[in-house]
Amino acid sequence: ENVDLEIAIEANGLRKKFRDFTAVDGVSFQVPKGRIVAILGPNGAGKTTTVNMLCTLLTPDGGSASVAGHDVQREAPAVRRAITLTGQFAALDEQLTGRENLVMFGRLLGLTKKKAQVRAGELLDFFGLESEASRKVREYSGGMRRRIDIACGMVTRPEVVFLDEPTTGLDPRSRQDVWAFVEQLRALGVTILLTTQYLE
């Protein structure tokens, strides 16, 4: 491995306990910038807990970590500005269309109305959802919902994307679609850490 690679995510001996249960014990790894790394394991293995510590949603009980060059405990706001997290369940407004969801996320993240609309158009095109942009999200298939969910996380062009079980509950074709979009994100220079139960 080239020692000159810039590290986007670094975990050193991360630990997390919930009362008497140790969910994560001594997890250490590095993810070079612009790479895709998957954490593979069954339910209960501590994958989501690890991601939540890296995303500043949980405070580690031991060890340290940095994301995009920022310490997850001392520089949590800077970490949050550099990342996006897409969880197992899409955080979308079912009553809005795909385009409206993207514009809403853009506005919530501080874009002007015009910039939010432009960015929504770019993302709909990138994720192959232009033809479905005017349909309400509640009518979307599982694969389309996952795509629009990931697209919402890309509104502000994050350096690091965390995908927690991005293909859970999807049929094989939709899973293939998600993996193809993950590759496209990497082509944009985004670092991706994902969790999965699927060996392929």
Q: To which H or E segment does residue 184 belong?
A: helix 172-187
Entry pTM: 0.85
Going residue by residue through the chain, which has 200 residues, state the pLDDT in tens, using 9 for 90 and above: 445 679 999 999 999 999 999 999 999 999 999 999 999 988 888 999 999 999 999 999 999 999 999 999 999 999 999 998 886 555 788 899 999 999 999 998 889 999 999 999 999 998 888 999 999 999 998 878 888 888 888 888 889 999 988 887 778 887 888 888 888 888 889 999 999 887 77
How far apart, in Å, are the Cα atoms of 198 and each of 8, 47, 168, 170, 191? 24, 13, 9, 11, 20
The one-letter amino acid at 84: T
> What pLDDT is recorded for position 116?
95
Residue 65, strand partner residues: 11
Q: How far apart are CA 80 and CA 123, in angstroms?
A: 21
Judged by DSSP in three states, 117 sits in helix
CA 61 to chain CA centroid, nearest Å: 23
Q: How far apart are CA 192 and CA 155, in angstroms?
A: 16
